[in-house]
Amino acid sequence: MAKNDKHSGARLVTVDEDSAGRRLDNFLLSELKGLPRTRIYSMIRKGEVRVNKGRKKAAYKVMAGDAVRIPPVNTAAAKAKSAGNAVGHLEPQIIHEDDAILVIDKPSGLAVHGGSGISLGLIETLRHARPDCRYMELVHRLDRDTSGLLLIAKKRSALRKLHEAFRNGDVDKRYESLLLGQWEGGERLVDMPLVVEHRKNGERHVSPGEGGKPARTRFVPRDYFSDYVFVDIELFTGRTHQIRAHGAAIGHPVAGDQRYGDSELDPPDLTRLFLHAAELSFEHPVTAKQVSFRAPLERSLQGVVDRLHDEARLSG
């Protein structure tokens, strides 16, 4: 629970059971989203932050019931305005929300984390939209240009359980994609370790290679077209660019992929990466019940598939 000091503008936050045991610096980082770590340490060192009215070091582990005084911080007005403008677009994308989790259908083109300046990502925008929600963290990630289901934890205990579920392979993740090229045969299980390379421009590029992290992807064709195949994808691991790199490695890159694909072969009416996180199933971290969510293809992607079906009927 947070209270404002009318005279100093500081906040007095009472540590709850969910945050107990965290280092003071990490607790402050979660309370002051986006504030540089150097500023956090400066506040602690100068005594601007107090715990039970006394000074504490950054390594101090907060306990349930501790009263933490947090000084006023000058948040950037530009960021607040940017977040306010984006909130209205994201609210309709929320598929499910309860006290522990939030599931959202992330639009293509939106990064999950913001960059420098006033660039805000999905998580920063959601925090702005939920000012009373003291904890909100990404459970997993999606590439900026990938649309679809993204899971967010609203409790630290929920995040721990969901991270464990992802590590143990207890989360069922299904994608939909349009791949380039004529597909021969049925489903394919691609088991290739992936190596992440950092290029001069700072971009990450992934390719199969010895010494890479294990990565397994199953491609199941649903609709065959003359130059493309529409597939369901089961993801067994969650490596960077895994679907895109595995698709390219077997000669079927994702349509619309500017990094691993071939833009000259893309459908002419495709304006974005054709990769969508369509289904997500897991055990709820609080109720322990199995829950499943689905997000339909974005309208522009569905339009591409519909047109390919129309062309196939006319030519057949």
Instruction: Provide the CATH number for the domain around residue 200.
Output: 3.30.2350.10
Surface-to-core class of residue 15, CB atoms within 10 Å of its CB (0-12 exposed, 13-18 middle, 19+ buried) = buried
Same domain, 189 and 309: yes
What is the structure's pLDDT at 99?
94
Q: Half-sphere exposure of residue 249, counting CA atoms within 13 Å on the CB side?
A: 23
Q: Which residues are catalytic?
A: 143
pLDDT higher than threshold 80 for residue 110:
yes
Is the domain of 205 the same as that of 226?
yes
Task: Kindly indicate the confidence band of residue 190, based on its pLDDT and cuts at 50, 70 and 90.
Answer: very high
221 in the same domain as 185: yes
Helix segments in the chain, DSSP class H: 24-31, 37-45, 77-90, 122-129, 156-167, 242-249, 299-315
Burial 226-262 (b: 16+ CB within 10 A, else e): eebbbbbbbbbbebebbbbbbbbbbebbbbbbebbbe
In a domain, 181, yes or no: yes
- pLDDT given at position 118: 39
| Domain hosting residue 39, numbered range | 2-70
Token pair, residue 208, equals 């199969």
Section 170-176 average pLDDT = 96
pTM for the predicted model, two decimal places = 0.74
Of 70, 91, 125, the position where a domain reaches its end is 70
Q: What angle do CA 73, 77, 79 make, to 5 degrees?
A: 100
- Is residue 56 domain-shared with residue 177, that is, in the same domain? no
Contact 226, 178 (CB under 8 A): no
Label residue 274 by pLDDT band (50, 70, 90).
Answer: very high
Q: For residues 196 and 280, state if they share a domain.
A: yes
